[in-house]
Structure 1
Amino acid sequence: MFIQIIQGKCTRQDDLHALADEWRRDISGGATGWLGGTYGFTDDDMFVGVVRFESREAAASNSERPEQGAWAAKLMAVMDGPMEFHDCDDVMLLMDGGSDRAGFVQVIRGRVDDPARLKAMFAETDTIHRMRPDILGATLALEADGTFTETVAFTSEDAARAGEAEGAPESMREELEYAMAGATFYDLHRPWFESA
């Protein structure tokens, strides 16, 4: 799997959401290898999109389509400024990778000097599921320099906050502190989802 993270400031949220609906309705049919996406806005108008493709080649092929280019120009026009794009070939899934039923999504961006350590923690699916039943699934996307984007789907924000308040078990506390040191959290209170 290949994941592209897109983010940028956007105060024209309704316009962007309408463009996303347009893409799904009119353009997604020709996007070979597109699997889906998770999208939303933070309270301070940061748009975050986490888009999944079968491969980097499929994503590149989609980007080269004329209709995709025309749509992307309309997207840029509604943004408040430039957008960031992060491409990740190194992807892990936790419990099938998430859920379109999530009531709350948290996107976490950070950087570690030992990606293998982070991946080992992420692979503790059974422990994480027992510890946090409010988590429906997640994806971990790693860039070559150790920058990571974790996208976590929760049943609801209330459940997520209750789980946070309980804290991690002793066995995972050190690893979580390592992974989250200096990380930025993007809370998507009203996420939306698209699937192929």
Structure 2
Amino acid sequence: MFIQVIQGPCSRQDEMRSAMEQWEAERAPDVVGWLGGTYGFTDDGMFVAVVRFESEEMARSNSDSREQSAWWERTRALFDAEPEFHDCTDVTLALDGGSDDAGFVQVIQGRAVDPDRLRAMMTDTRQMQEERPDILGATLAIADDGTFTETVAFTDEAAAREGEKKEMPAEMREQMMAAMDDVRYLDLHQPWFASRMG
């Protein structure tokens, strides 16, 4: 799997959502390898899109198409500043990656100090399900520069906040602190999703 993260400040939120929905309706059916996406805005007005493809080659083929270039030129103008891109071929899924029924999504970004440990924690779904049943699934995407984007889908925000109050096992906490650095959290209170049917 290949994940591309697109993010940047956007005050034209209704127009941005319309642009994404237009892409899903008009472009998605013809884009080979597109799997889906998770989208939303943070409280401080940052738009975040986490888009999944079967492979980097398929994503590049879409990006290089004339139709995609035309759509992107229109959409790019909706950002208040130049958006950031994080292209990630190193992708790990937990619990099938999440759910389009999630009521709250938290995007965690930072630097992967120990990528192997990060991946191992993501795949320990037994412990995840025991400790945090409010988590529906997650994706971990690591870019070539060592930065990572983890996208965690929760049943709802109230359950997520309640889960945060639980005391994390000391070993797990130590592993997390050793595996990542420069961490920041982007909360998507009203996320929306798109996915290829069938």
TM-score by length of 1: 0.97
Gaps of 5+ in 1: none
Quote the residue 2:68 is aligned against.
Answer: 68
One-letter code aligned to 2:34? W
Quote the residue 1:107 is aligned against.
Answer: 107
Quote the residue 1:195 is aligned against.
Answer: 195
Quote the residue 2:93 is aligned against.
Answer: 93
Q: Distance in 1 between matches of 2:14 and 2:105?
A: 19
Q: Distance in 2 between matches of 1:21 and 1:173?
A: 39
One-letter code aligned to 1:139? T
Quote the residue 1:79 is aligned against.
Answer: 79
One-letter code aligned to 2:64? E
Quote the residue 1:12 is aligned against.
Answer: 12
Matched-pair contact (CA < 8 Å) for 1:114–1:146: no
Matched-pair contact (CA < 8 Å) for 1:90–1:143: yes
The percent identity for this pair of structures is 58
Within 5 Å, give how 1:166-177 maps onto structure 2. Answer: 166-177=166-177
**How many residues of Structure 1 are paired with residues of Structure 2 in the alignment?**
196
* Superposed displacement of residue 175, structure 1: 1.3
Gaps of 5+ in 2: none
Q: Distance in 2 between matches of 1:67 and 1:145?
A: 29
Quote the residue 1:127 is aligned against.
Answer: 127
* Superposed displacement of residue 118, structure 1: 1.3
* Superposed displacement of residue 180, structure 1: 4.9
Q: Which moved more, 1:64-73 or 1:91-100?
A: 64-73
One-letter code aligned to 2:92? M
Q: Residue 43 of structure 1: SS of its match in structure 2?
A: coil
Q: Which moved more, 1:112-121 or 1:177-186?
A: 177-186
Q: Distance in 2 between matches of 1:81 and 1:167?
A: 39
* Superposed displacement of residue 74, structure 1: 0.9
Coordinate RMSD, CA, aligned: 1.0
Quote the residue 1:116 is aligned against.
Answer: 116
Q: Deviations over 1:120-178 (max 9, x none)?
A: 12121110111000000000001123211100000000000000011312231111223
Q: Residue 8 of structure 1: SS of its match in structure 2?
A: strand
